[in-house]
Structure 1
Amino acid sequence: MFATRPWRSLHTRSVQSFSPGEQIPNLLPGDFILTHGTSWTSRMIRWGEAIRYRGADKPFARWNHAAIFINEQGDIIEALGGGVQQRNISIYKDTEYHVVHLENVIDVNRTHEVEFAQACLHNHYGWLTIVSIALSLLTGSKLGFGVDGQEICSALVARCLERTGEIFPTDPWHIMPADLAKYYGVLPEDPNAPVGIVPAPDVGRQACST
């Protein structure tokens, strides 16, 4: 269905860039962030994204992590190596990130986004999905595999956005942070600026068994 036309969001949107030390003044549940880190997994994700995003699209591969806001106080839900967790955007105070705000989403759909994200709390991280995406990038195969009840960060955000009526051109569980950046036009202000840090998962929080 997307072979003959470019994908377009159902919603108007705005994108705000926040440098290290800046704070978000206004938030709505269902807004989401794109950011980046320096860990080996962050580097691996960006390396894989760069296989697909080259030339004019290369800046989209700067992003290797996504998270979704669940309230106006800045609490976020994100899929990390230790599983799906709830934290606060303040943990990213030393890192550049961009916030995507979809402007014409009705309140009930924002509530559905939040409820879905909360339902995913404590799920395991989707390492097998990462392997599937890597094989797809390296071979061009459209075969995908993963484990139900496991999440990667960008797929979690994409599945939340489906609650607003979005229909993505690929299965949401296979969507990368760079894909979200491409879909919503999230470009870094300075593609050559140093990348930041995705804070490590909170210790003491156990993911649920699958």
Structure 2
Amino acid sequence: MKIIKGTVDSKIVKLSRPDAIKYIRNKETLGIIGGEFAITYDEDDLPITTLLGSCVAVMLYDAALQVKGMNHFLLPTSCAQGTSCRFGLYAMEAMLNEMYKLGCRKENISAKIAGGANILHDLSDSIGERNVLFARQFCRSEGIRIVAENVLGSNGRVVMLDRDFQTIAKTIANRSMDEKLAQADRALARAVNKTESAPAESGVTLF
């Protein structure tokens, strides 16, 4: 088994077995949290999963090598230009670079985008929307084709990236989980202002 993981503290580690197991539909998956990314081969049959509120996950897939990657970033960029996968720019560049090292080629890579919900309905400046716009703009500037999206809305979601670029998004309908995501979004809102001045399911979407 071959797993490459980018960590919150900007380290790149190679794993021979998962370090964070989540179970979706009784299937063992590799779970990532905000500020991380993971890359796996289809042949290892290890999906990647994450839980998103206003954060965004960009999933990349090289159809020729059957290599898939997913990141989970909290904000588009850092004013301090920090090298952390918490920020979309670094998360995208770091994940792409690791895929290129495996032999992936840009012309064989396609993308899917998930997340960016407005959990805090009173926010006029939606962090989620900004994250989605960044993900779209980055992919287009790099010439990476976006083939599907499951984004925005007012609910969080669990996302699973499986082999052959099969992707499932499960909408969250759980008050306690909604509140946890809302608390995280409030913290994000404070961070934005500072720098610039398993859950229940209500729906399953294949995308």
Q: Normalised by the size of structure 1, how large is the TM-score? A: 0.26
Q: Please state which structure has a larger fraction of its residues in helix.
A: 1
Q: Please state which structure has a larger fraction of its residues in strand.
A: 2
